[in-house]
Amino acid sequence: SNLAQAAGIGAIMDAEHVNKTVTLNKTALQQFYVALHDAELNYIPSYGNFVMVDLKTEDAAKAFTDDMMQKGIFIRHLRAFGLPHCVRISTGTEAENDLFAKVLAIT
């Protein structure tokens, strides 16, 4: 929509916002890598705002997605993208990223 485009342009033009967002995302990715490594899960390093985790089988990916959802963590099973054995975990706010790491540590 026009409103969404205007908001996007405004965000891009705000250098402080861009720097804050990029820093938050870089920090989140590193936090995710540590949490995933500690959980002994295979992941693909990312240049975006998400990490892809390879759980080896579709059943494992679905079970992981369902378990995380029940714990308040919403991730995306990548079955519809031709990767039924993988999930996508997007970065978020600092509190959301901390919650993901905490929940993963006790899973």
- Judged against a pLDDT cut of 90, whether residue 107 lies above it is answered with no
- Judged against a pLDDT cut of 90, whether residue 105 lies above it is answered with yes
- Judged against a pLDDT cut of 90, whether residue 94 lies above it is answered with yes
Q: Could you tell me which residues come within 8 angstroms of residue 91 by beta carbon, excluding any fewer than 6 positions away?
A: 24, 25, 28, 29, 32, 49, 50, 97
Q: Percentages helix, strand, coil for the chain, rounded to the nearest 5?
A: 60, 15, 25
Residues 49-70: what's their mean pLDDT? 97
Which pLDDT value is given to residue 80?
96
- Residue 93 CA, distance from chain mean position: 11
Tell me phi and psi for residue 17, to 5 degrees: -65, -45
Per-residue confidence at 84, pLDDT binned at 50, 70, 90? very high
Residues constituting the chain: 107
Which pLDDT value is given to residue 56?
97
Residue 37: which of 25, 45, 49 has the closest Cα? 45
Per-residue confidence at 103, pLDDT binned at 50, 70, 90? very high
Which pLDDT value is given to residue 20?
94
Beta-carbon-side half-sphere exposure of residue 81 (alpha carbons within 13 Å): 9
Residues 37-62: what's their mean pLDDT? 97
